[in-house]
Amino acid sequence: MPTPPRPFVSIVMPALNEERYIAEAISSVVPQSDTLDYELLVLDGGSSDRTREIVRDIASRNERIKLLHNERRIQSAAVNVASEACDARTAILIRADCHAKYPEEFAARCVDTLSRTGSSSVVVAMQAVGHHPTQKAIAAAQNSRLGNGGSQHRVAGRSGYVDHGHHAAFDLEIFRALGGYDETAPYNEDAEFDTRLIEAGGRIYLDGSLTIEYYPRSNFRTLATQYFRHGWGRANTILKHGKTPKLRQLLPVLVLVACVGGLVLWPLVGITALLPLAFYLVTCLAWATALAVQARDASILLAAPAAVVMHMSWATGFLVREFAHRRQKLVHRLRDLRARFGTANAGPTP
């Protein structure tokens, strides 16, 4: 019996100043065989580098590749725009990122997994890869349990139904029915969507055989910004849906509070107040040393400060969003009390 044809696929790639990575990302994600009918939509958020020029050059040799403008700039908006602007034949959306290299026939295999498992969404594992010492150290930290907390989609080869993972493929009809990504949440839009998907009765399948290579940030400053946004976004999703944080999400917050508390109490209670900070830093250094020995690369020792930056930035972002939420609730409560007592004190009109 002949194999039924695969459905038409729209591969969506949000981009903003990605001249270093976008050519390789496109090359690796574009289907190499003729067994998949597709288009690739690059949604550019207003790049100021050569990103658009590179995409136009590639598109001149492949008419299936199209460059679109994402006036709202953020990734969630890019995917939402593509979900409406895609070809009328599209049945499945494939989300692809510029900071990644994809395994052979990635899109076709995502389609097959979606069909085989009967799931609403397919997510994949990711392995961080660095090109120079600092990026290699950041990648090592992100690949280790110290940096990822044991997140399922950070473990290559593990497959099964999950509640979240690195987004790869969606049933377009379901994506639209759920309203796509929440653009009011500029960060963590993937986990927020997964929460709504599961609440609606959908299923998410992690295909560990489709591990992508992810290129992390190349310096600590941009890493701090990225992880602050991750923490802010995770707190926003938790607050929006009334969820309880997982232990691995609470640990960075607890460590930050303990370390800052120790520094504050140090002048009052002495050196013992710094024990939590000392224990944390020694743990990070010991972990990085083990990674460096395993890799036989001294530069991996930089995984220690990388982990500290990741933890502290994530926790700070989480707390900033949490405090903003509590402040907003307090303001609303005070307004309600003012309105209530103001009405009570006004008395009857003579």
Q: What CATH number does residue 44 fall under?
A: 3.90.550.10
Whether residue 1 lies inside any domain: the answer is no
How far, in Å, CA of 129 to CA of 9, rounded?
A: 28
Same domain, 184 and 310: no
Last residue of a domain, one of 217, 238, 266: 217
Same domain, 138 and 282: no
Mean pLDDT of 306-312: 98
Same domain, 139 and 276: no
Per-residue pLDDT band for 345 (boundaries 50, 70, 90) equals low
Alpha-carbon distance values, 188 to 17, 45, 216, 227, 247 (Å): 20, 18, 17, 11, 18
Whether residue 348 lies inside any domain: the answer is no
Q: Which residues pair with 101 in a beta bridge?
A: 213
Mean pLDDT of 92-103: 95
Per-residue pLDDT band for 35 (boundaries 50, 70, 90) equals confident
Whether residue 349 lies inside any domain: the answer is no
Same domain, 263 and 321: yes
DSSP 139-205: HHHHHSHHHHTT-GGGSTT--EEES--EEEEEEHHHHHHTTSS-TT--S-HHHHHHHHHHHTT--EE
Alpha-carbon distance values, 197 to 12, 82, 148 (Å): 20, 19, 23
Whether residue 99 lies inside any domain: the answer is yes
Whether residue 238 lies inside any domain: the answer is no
Same domain, 166 and 77: yes
Same domain, 282 and 184: no
What tens digit of pLDDT does each residue of 54-77 get?
A: 999 999 999 999 999 999 989 999
Backbone angles phi, psi at 338, to 5 degrees: -65, -45
What tens digit of pLDDT does each residue of 214-235 get?
A: 999 999 999 999 999 999 999 9
Same domain, 164 and 40: yes
Which has the closest alpha carbon to 170: 2, 6, 348, 11? 11
The pLDDT of residue 3 is above 70: no
Same domain, 159 and 74: yes
**pLDDT value for 339:** 82
Are 11 and 29 in contact, with CB atoms under 8 Å apart?
Answer: yes
Q: How many domains does the chain have?
A: 2
Per-residue pLDDT band for 2 (boundaries 50, 70, 90) equals low
Same domain, 212 and 265: no
Are 48 and 17 in contact, with CB atoms under 8 Å apart?
Answer: yes
What tens digit of pLDDT does each residue of 163-177 get?
A: 999 999 999 999 999
* Summary mean pLDDT of the chain: 93
Write the Ramachandran bin of 343: left for phi over 0, alpha for psi from -120 to 50, otherwise beta. Answer: alpha
Q: Which two tokens stand for residue 21?
A: 């990575």
Last residue of a domain, one of 217, 238, 271: 217
**pLDDT value for 97:** 94
Whether residue 222 lies inside any domain: the answer is no
pTM recorded for the entire structure? 0.90
**pLDDT value for 6:** 86
Q: Name the 3-class secondary structure at 94.
A: strand
Whether residue 229 lies inside any domain: the answer is no
Q: Would you say how long the chain is, in residues? A: 350
The pLDDT of residue 350 is above 70: no
The pLDDT of residue 155 is above 80: no
How far, in Å, CA of 209 to CA of 207, rounded?
A: 5
Same domain, 309 and 210: no
Q: Name the 3-class secondary structure at 216.
A: coil
Whether residue 240 lies inside any domain: the answer is no
Per-residue pLDDT band for 33 (boundaries 50, 70, 90) equals confident
Same domain, 298 and 212: no
Structural domain boundaries enclosing 303: 247-343
Last residue of a domain, one of 217, 239, 267: 217
Helices marked H in the chain: 22-29, 51-59, 75-85, 106-117, 133-143, 145-148, 172-177, 189-199, 220-241, 247-269, 275-295, 303-346
Same domain, 213 and 278: no
